[in-house]
Homo-oligomer: A and B are copies of this chain.
Amino acid sequence: MKKIEINSERFDNMVENIKKYGGCPVSATLKIIGGKWKPLILYFISVDVNRFGQLQRMMPDCSKRMMTTQLRELEKDGLINRKVFAEVPPKVIYTLTITGENLRPLFGELRKWGIENILEPKKKS
């Protein structure tokens, strides 16, 4: 019987990610984008509302603390970039990564289903 040869860091990466997210790509995705303010944050960044203060003004119900933690998680998960300018007063710009940009069709489907099935459910007539 032949041994199976597996050889790639990519495989290690997969194993790591599968363990981390329970093996289901759907659950994994939901976990990453499912934070309370993440969809809104991603949306605003995608339309160039890209500074901390601006984001706060768009989402007054999101505290600074929450804004910070959600931004850090999005950064850690590779959905956004954080660029710090060494100025006084400090200036930070957030942008979507490629991975973040890749979310667009997914968000389109999320939005579509939400509108058609929750916000404006058709009467069964």
Per-residue CB contact flags for chain A residues 1-29 toward chain B (1 = under 8 Å, else 0) read 00000000010011001100100111111
Among B28, B113, B117, B120, contact of A118 (Cβ-Cβ < 8 Å): B28
In the complex the two chains form, is B113's CB within 8 Å of A17's CB?
no
Give the interface size bracket for A toward B: 35 or more
Main secondary structure of the interface of A (DSSP, over half): helix
In the complex the two chains form, is A24's CB within 8 Å of B39's CB?
yes
A118 with B30: in contact, given A106-B109, A109-B109, A123-B10 (CB under 8 Å)?
no
Known: A14-B119, A26-B43, A29-B118. 9 other contacts (CB 8 A): A21-B118, A21-B119, A24-B39, A26-B114, A29-B110, A29-B114, A30-B33, A105-B109, A106-B112
